[in-house]
Amino acid sequence: MLQSKTVVDYRFLLNGEWRKSISEHSISVIGTNKQTVGSVQAMTKEEIDEAANAAKAAQKLWEQQSLDERATLLYAWADELVARKEDIATTIMHEVGKNYADAEKEVVRTASFIKYTAEEGKRVHSDLLHGGSFDQAAANKVAMVNRVPIGVVLAISPFNYPVNLAASKIAPALIAGNSVLFKPATQGSISGIKMIEALDAVGAPAGLVNTITGRGAEIGDYIVTHPIVNLVNFTGGSKTGLAISQKTAMIPVVLELGGKDPAIVLADAQLEKTARDIVSGAFSYSGQRCTAIKRVLVADEVADKLVSLIQDEISQLSVGSPEENAFVTPLINEQAADFVQSLIDDALAKGAALVTRNKREGNLIYPTLLDHATTEMELAWEEPFGPVLPIIRVGSEEEAIAIANDSEYGLQASVFTSNIEKAIQIGNKLETGSVQINGRTERGPDHLPFLGVKKSGLGVQGIRHSILSMTREKVTVLNFSE
């Protein structure tokens, strides 16, 4: 891509108006190709206050709208995203280095997510409880248990799915009757802004969704502790998520954090399919997924064959720029590549065998496979968020389970075996939010529950669960005369 002569300075949406910040400062957004994609506003705390107040006022009106009226807005938003998919996908490609085909899939998937959310919101019903079912003395009491909006939701999205993981917070919040303060990651913010431009274009009420742009290091603490915010929904690193949970005190949080997802391969696994799933799970979007397969725990008797098959699969992966629609593309920035390389260097220094050559060009790291990795290596425990996969050979199922569980993370795991009963038994022993049997670790379909344990997250997502997390129960008790 050639450097554009005109760099667009994108504005933020505040109470229905697209504005430039009174700070007169902008933040350049540098793509993975190290060229400027555009710039976004460095908002002031005063502007954040104004956005929060606008969201609070808009929410009071929005919760009075019927579910059909809320759903109508979401349907229109989804259609508008599809109409703009080429522009938004191109922005995702240039901004965060995702190849165009995957970027376009992200936009289309997001539209489907929003439409399903609109439908699911209509299926969240109230309960009616009779006091006499607990105590005959309370037979004259009837409780109506309704779900009501939680208020103003702060949605903080990551760089790797700048549209999908933003909408997965915003759409459930809106159908539930909340308003939103949307803070995208700096690299990914232009894609997020374009997504909100689509929402604004179809008539979202002023103040219902407000965008907040600026560096998290400068405004992050201010927004997550803002007195008007009623819930924080964050996707990102575990260290940041832990800090948010500590600072928000009495404010509920939903956290989607890191992972060190293992693939456990038993001796009776169908190795050809297993190798394909492992390579897809480990190297798609260059491994920059919280649910990427990040280590393989394989039965020693089939390890040689599996490593050979994985090596063959890796050799077929295209590597290069996202504009060339390569499968493995540059990492988000140079610092990310430095970290991945440091993990590779540590593993090699401690005896790991390099199966595929470790080649690096700037922030592009070629897919790297390391055999004979051990638990003494940092790569066995650290989340690389990059295209490197260690093979750890194990002597028993018990050893694989122990290594998998001896981690600060607990997002997902895969178990590959022809014995489904054995797979379920192993899955029940794994300390993760989800277990994939004979398939790669991944998020979705989007209506399934999605959660992590330990430092991988807090709360449950997936469309219905996300809606429930952004509401609270309100009980009205009717007392009848005896």
CB 347 within 8 A of CB 377: yes
Q: Is 376 a catalytic residue?
A: no
Catalytic residue among 80, 106, 290, 313: 290
Can you list the alpha helix ranges (DSSP code H) found in 289-411?
300-315, 334-349, 397-405
Asked if residue 227 has a cis previous peptide bond (ω within 30° of 0), the answer is no
How far is the C-alpha of 121 from the C-alpha of 95, rounded, in Å?
32
Q: Produce one character per residue of 225-258: b if its CB has 16 or more CB atoms within 10 Å, e if not.
A: ebebbbbbbbbbbbebbeebbeebeebbbbbbbb
Give me 21's structure tokens. 């910040």
Q: Is 256 a catalytic residue?
A: yes
Rounded CA Rg of the chain: 24
- 224, 230, 236, 241 alpha-carbon torsion, rounded to 10°: 70
What single-letter amino acid sits at 292?
A: A
User: For every one of its 482 residues, what pLDDT tens digit does the chain have, with 9 covering 90 and above?
Assistant: 334 457 899 999 999 999 999 999 999 999 998 999 999 999 999 999 999 999 999 999 999 999 999 999 999 999 999 999 999 999 999 999 999 999 999 999 999 999 999 999 999 988 999 988 888 888 999 999 999 999 999 999 999 999 999 999 999 999 999 999 999 999 999 999 999 999 999 999 999 999 999 988 889 999 999 999 999 999 999 999 999 999 998 999 999 999 999 999 999 999 999 999 999 999 999 999 999 999 999 999 999 999 999 999 999 999 999 999 999 999 999 999 999 999 999 999 999 999 998 999 999 999 999 999 999 999 999 999 999 999 999 999 999 999 999 999 999 999 999 999 999 999 999 999 999 999 999 998 899 999 999 999 999 999 999 999 999 999 999 999 87
CB 110 within 8 A of CB 81: yes
Which residue in the block uniquely carries the two structure tokens 């005109």?
6
Which residue in the block uniquely carries the two structure tokens 């956290």?
255
Following DSSP, what letter does each residue of 185-201 receive, concatenated? Answer: -STTHHHHHHHHHHHHH
Catalytic residue among 80, 256, 313, 383: 256
| List of domains in the chain | 9-257+458-474 (3.40.605.10), 261-445 (3.40.309.10)
Give the three-state DSSP class for 77: helix
Is pTM, for the whole model, over 0.85?
Answer: yes
Following DSSP, what letter does each residue of 362-376 receive, concatenated? Answer: TTEE--EEEES--TT
